[in-house]
Every structure is written in structure tokens, then in C-alpha cells.
Amino acid sequence: MTEKNIIRSSLAGESCIHIKHSSGLDIYICEMPGFSSVEAVFGTKYGSVNNIFRTEGDSSFTEVPEGIAHYLEHKLFENEDCGAFELYAKTGASGNAFTTFDRTCYLFSCTRNYQENLKILLELVQNPYFTQENVDKERGIIGQEIKMTNDRPEWRVFFNMLRCMYHSHPVKIDIAGTEESIAKITPELLYKCYDSFYNLNNMVLSVAGNVEANKVLEVCDKYLKPCRDKKLEKVFPDELEEIVQPEIREQQPVGTDIFHLGYKCRPAAGSEKLKKTVAASMAASLLTDASSEMYQKLLGEGVINSSFTSEVFCGDGYFSVIFSGESPEADKIRQAMTAEIGRINSEGLNEKDFQRIKKSAYGVLIRELNNVEATAHIMLNSHLEGILPYDTIQALSEVTRIETEDFIKTELRPDRLVLSVIEGKAVQQ
């Protein structure tokens, strides 16, 4: 039986529809009259970190090669007759797909024919086609992609940092895997992963924009293939709280040195993860605030420039706060950050600065709800993280200065700090 309810936010003055479809799929729809476009995202809670799993009926856990989630995404985008780009081109839509550490998503955006495009999306994802020939063909394509990304300094500095943070967690492994790991991928393994993770009970469909919910459901009722919940179980290797090593440097032909300064924090899940993410985001924003004394001092000394930024990077079994940018003196940034956090732990945060940053972050969240693409992804991401679409707005409205100070004191610890630097070197003529 299909269950339908409306989710409302009194703070944002917005609402969306959640449907638990009889097929097992969770569907979110946000009707946005007056907008001309439509964004639809079909996602599964399956990413590069999910290499050990079992389903109901399996006698033991299955361990698969690194990079297989990304490999599977590539193969699903190509069916027996033609590729997804060709199908969407006929209807005037723009299609794409991506794999991250903990999810894989297939999407389209369009201004017309959204029902036809939704049909293409549902059929595309629900009809895998793997043969030895097309799997072997893809191996060379993905192998080239791995080589290209490994040559990108921005990619290297990030994964170097993760490898210094994590002892065992697969988040430290490139999303696409390695040339050695993808050589082990077979059609049988792809079907095993597909059958386990692409079960509709492990997936979510999010549609936003110039749509009518009943017309979206008409397509879903016709093309969704009901699935029995296989009780998917995912596990990760035990991970120590301590970092692997505090620093790593590598030389690459870059014009300016780039750095990632990351704090390894304790992971969280569900509502706890949401509260922690909001507090972490507030802390990071305050530490990179352009009006702060630390920022102005580093800027005045030429240690940082406008590229200096921060992000909260978290998922199943991992959580970190990362500061990054361009600088020939990353050591000074590490020293300044450590000193500033020490000062905050002694003196506390300025309430006026806290409220200013909080209001700014709140405004960003509200503006995103006036964007079709952002709305579709907010609904999907929230579901995959075990929360409701407007929970982040509620959590941000409730976060306090004391909670943010507590996060800084307990999580942004000097013994959990990693510095990753890509240093420029002369290019050989």
C-alpha cells in the first residue's frame, strides 16, 4: 500500500510530499508552481565505502573490490540499446550520474516532457545490463579516469590528508578505486552489488519544480518494479580515534602551494550527526570569517588569500572539519589555527559574531529552497542521512554558542590535526 504525507516547515514556510510507495521506494516531491524547470534525482545509499556487506539469506559477508560502486554507475548509464545521454537528448533533457563516498545518484533536469524523462530515469536504473565484453571495455575508460584524477593536485592533497587521518576506513580510498582493484571486477560481482544495493527499499526518488505530484506518481506506479526488502547490512573495519600521521607533503607542478588542514572527529549518525554537523559548520565558519582577527592577520601577512575556506566532511563512520586554500606558508596557518582554537577554549566565542554567522547560514538555507535543483538534492540527501528535508533549518535555528564552543573544545584537538600540502616544483622542459 502506498502511504502519502505532507512535510511542512513553519520556519521556512515550505512543504513537500513524502510517499512510501508500494514498491518499497521512498519518494519526495516538491511542487514549485511558477518555476519552469524540473530536477529529478534517483539515488541509492551505496558509495565507495560500502565494500563489505550481506543481505538476508547470505551465509557470510561479501567483500568486493574498491571502486566497484563507481564502476557500476558507469555501466548502468549504458543499457543494451543505447546510452542515457542519447535517450535524454531525444526529449530535450540533460542527464547525469555521480558516485560519492556513500551514495550513487542518477538525475535529469528539463523544462518539458518531465513524465517521459522520469520514465527513462526509472527504466535506466532498474534494468542493469552487464556482459564480460562491456565490463572489459569500461575497464580501460575508468583506468584512464583514475590516472587523470591522480594527476590532479586538488585530488592528491585531499586524499593524502584522508590517508593521514584514517587507518582502516575505506574513505581513504579513491572513489574510483585503483587500476589493480578494478581489474578484479566481473559481471557477476556487479550484479551482486546491484541486487544488494539497488533494491528500492535502499533507494529514494526526489522530484522538484514545475510538476504535479499525481502525474509523478502515475509514472512511478507504472514503471517501478516492487522489491522485497533484503535487510541489507553494511560493515566497516574498526577505526582508531587517533590519526595515522600529522603531516604529509608532496611535490607537483603547481603555480602556488595548496593545502588541506583537517581535524579528525568522532563519527555520528542520524539526528546526532545533524546536530554535530551544524555545530561543526558554525565553528568552521567562525574560524574562516573574513572579519576575524586571525583571518585579517594572515591575509595582511600574505599567508592566505581569498581561496581560504572550510567544509564539514562526514558520512558513515567518518567525520572531519577541513580548512583549505593556497599558501606558501601552510605551517603558519596551522600554528594560527591551533592558537585561535586555544584562545576560544579559554575565552569563548563572541556572541555577536556567532549570531551574525548563524543568520548568514540560515539565509543560505532559505535561499536554497527557492532553487529547483537545490530543493531536489536537499530532499534526497536528507533521506539518505536519516533526517527530514527541513530538519537542518530547524537544527540551525536551535544551535547555541555553547554547543559550538563545546564542539571546538572536544573535537578540534591538536592531536587530531593533519596537514597535507602540495608544494610547487619546476616543470621539466
Going residue by residue through the chain (429 aa), what tens digit of pLDDT does each one get? 789 999 999 999 999 999 999 999 999 999 999 999 999 999 999 999 999 999 998 999 999 999 999 999 999 987 666 678 888 989 999 999 999 999 999 999 999 999 999 999 999 999 999 999 989 989 999 999 999 998 899 999 999 999 999 999 999 999 999 999 999 999 999 999 999 999 999 999 999 999 999 999 999 999 999 999 999 999 999 999 999 999 999 999 899 999 999 999 999 999 999 999 999 999 999 999 999 999 999 999 999 999 999 999 999 999 999 999 999 999 999 999 999 999 999 999 999 999 999 999 999 999 999 999 999 999 999 999 999 999 999 999 999 999 999 999 999 999 999 999 999 875 444
Beta strands in 146-246 (DSSP E): 203-209, 233-234
Regarding whether 27 and 102 lie in a shared domain, the answer is yes
Q: Beta strands 104-110 and 309-315: pairing type?
A: unpaired
Regarding whether 159 and 273 lie in a shared domain, the answer is no
Regarding whether 224 and 262 lie in a shared domain, the answer is no
Q: Is residue 9 part of a domain?
A: yes
Q: Is residue 225 part of a domain?
A: yes
Regarding whether 267 and 331 lie in a shared domain, the answer is yes
Looking up cell 581560504, which residue turns up? 308
Regarding whether 325 and 230 lie in a shared domain, the answer is no
> Residue 383 sits in a domain of what CATH number?
3.30.830.10
Regarding whether 194 and 53 lie in a shared domain, the answer is yes
Regarding whether 186 and 49 lie in a shared domain, the answer is yes
Q: Is residue 429 part of a domain?
A: no
| CA–CA gap between residue 156 and residue 250 (Å, rounded) | 9
188, 211, 234: which is the final residue of a domain? 234
Global confidence as pTM: 0.94
Regarding whether 418 and 274 lie in a shared domain, the answer is yes
- Report the b/e string of 231-254 with b at 16+ CB within 10 A: ebebebeebeeebbeebbeeebeb
Residue 77: CB atoms within 10 A of its CB come to: 16
Regarding whether 179 and 101 lie in a shared domain, the answer is yes
Q: Could you give the number of structural domains in the chain? A: 2
Regarding whether 18 and 87 lie in a shared domain, the answer is yes
Residues acting as catalytic residues = 73
Crossing angle of the two packed helices 351-368 and 391-398, in degrees rounded to 10: 170
Q: Which amino acid is at 116?
A: E
Q: Identify the domain containing residue 153 by its residue range.
A: 3-234
- Total residues found in the chain within this entry: 429
Q: Beta strands 104-110 and 38-44: pairing type?
A: antiparallel
Contact 213, 5 (CB under 8 A): no
Contact 41, 376 (CB under 8 A): yes
Torsion sign across C-alpha atoms 100, 103, 106, 108 = negative
Q: Is residue 312 part of a domain?
A: yes
| CA–CA gap between residue 18 and residue 248 (Å, rounded) | 46
Q: Is residue 241 part of a domain?
A: no
Regarding whether 400 and 352 lie in a shared domain, the answer is yes
Regarding whether 252 and 401 lie in a shared domain, the answer is yes
